[in-house]
């Protein structure tokens, strides 16, 4: 009997840090710091489970609307996370990739993020993909713009623009599409995350807040994923 398959690519919307802190009479900054600990647990669990790619929604294009003080805290915590996890990521042979618009991040954070990506670029273990200043609609829009520019230059015929061509221009080019999307905190929406790439992803929502998320919840999500019948619009072999 064939063993249940582990998803190749898991995507997670890390949600619920603020509510976790509020319930404990803590600051939102403390909630976000607890979320960093959850990310470490999940990265370790993915490594052990053999998941090839983990993409986490760290900061969206819409998150700039938050109070300046909270954005500053998030940027400071990102820098803290890079410095704290760098050696562990290298030791675990994890390759770090970034999608989104990291150019808008504070210069020091951007520099150390670039250095982390460079330092792990030769790693051959699983991929940790950080979505920072990322928006799914912008991802698709920029891909369309690049394809349009190639057509304008005469380097491409419009008739050659197919799904493969679009996928090749997305920020996740070279990575498999997500098999499983996880959203903690009880919210049931995708929030402009990997809109093209998640066309056939299985969705799993849990009321557990992100700072409380760990290997147990990840394994539960994978068990649910393995119980589902992924037909991609077709039928099972036994169906007429």
Q: Euclidean distance between the first and final Cα of the chain, in Å?
A: 24
Cα 202 from Cα 179, distance rounded (Å): 6
| φ/ψ (deg, to 5) at 123 | -70, 145
CA–CA distance, 96 with 73 (Å, rounded to integer)? 22
Q: Which of 63, 76, 192, 212 is catalytic?
A: 63
Cβ neighbour number for residue 213 with a 10 Å cutoff: 27
Residue environment code for 4-37, b if the CB has 16+ CB neighbours within 10 A, otherwise e:
eebbbbbbbbbbbbbbbbeeeeeebbbbbbbbbe
Give the full edge-to-edge strand order of the sheet including 127-134. Answer: 95-100, 127-134, 53-60, 9-13, 180-183, 202-205
Token readout for 98 is 């970034």
Is the CB of residue 147 less than 8 Å from the CB of residue 156? yes
Q: How many CB atoms lie within 10 A of CB 168?
A: 13
Question: Has 63 been annotated as catalytic?
Answer: yes
Residues making up the chain, counted from first to last? 240
Q: Which of 15, 139, 177, 179 is catalytic?
A: 15
Helix (H, G, I), strand (E, B) or coil at 42: helix
Dihedral over Cα of 103, 104, 108, 109: its sign: negative
Which residues carry out catalysis? Answer: 15, 63
């Amino acid at each position: 009997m064939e063993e249940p398959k582990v998803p190749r690519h898991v995507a997670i919307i890390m949600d619920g840090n603020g509510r976790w802190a509020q319930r404990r009479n803590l600051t939102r900054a403390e909630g976000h710091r607890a979320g960093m600990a959850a990310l470490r647990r999940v990265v370790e669990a993915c490594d052990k489970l053999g998941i090839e790619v983990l993409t986490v929604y760290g900061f969206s294009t819409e998150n700039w609307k938050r109070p300046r003080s909270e954005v500053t805290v998030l940027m400071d915590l990102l820098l803290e996370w890079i410095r704290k996890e760098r050696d562990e990521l290298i030791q675990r042979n994890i390759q770090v990739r970034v999608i989104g618009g990291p150019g808008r991040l504070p210069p020091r954070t951007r520099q150390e993020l670039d250095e982390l990506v460079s330092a792990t670029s030769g790693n051959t273990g699983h991929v940790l993909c950080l979505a920072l200043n990322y928006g799914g609609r912008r991802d698709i829009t920029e891909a369309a713009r690049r394809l349009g520019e190639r057509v304008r230059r005469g380097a491409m015929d419009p008739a050659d623009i197919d799904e493969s061509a679009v996928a090749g221009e997305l920020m996740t080019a070279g990575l498999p599409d997500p098999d499983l999307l996880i959203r903690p905190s009880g919210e049931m929406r995708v929030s402009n995350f990997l809109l093209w790439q998640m066309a056939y992803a299985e969705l799993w929502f849990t009321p557990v807040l992100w700072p409380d998320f760990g290997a147990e919840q990840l394994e539960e999500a994978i068990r649910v994923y393995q119980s589902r019948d992924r037909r991609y619009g077709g039928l099972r072999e036994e169906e007429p």
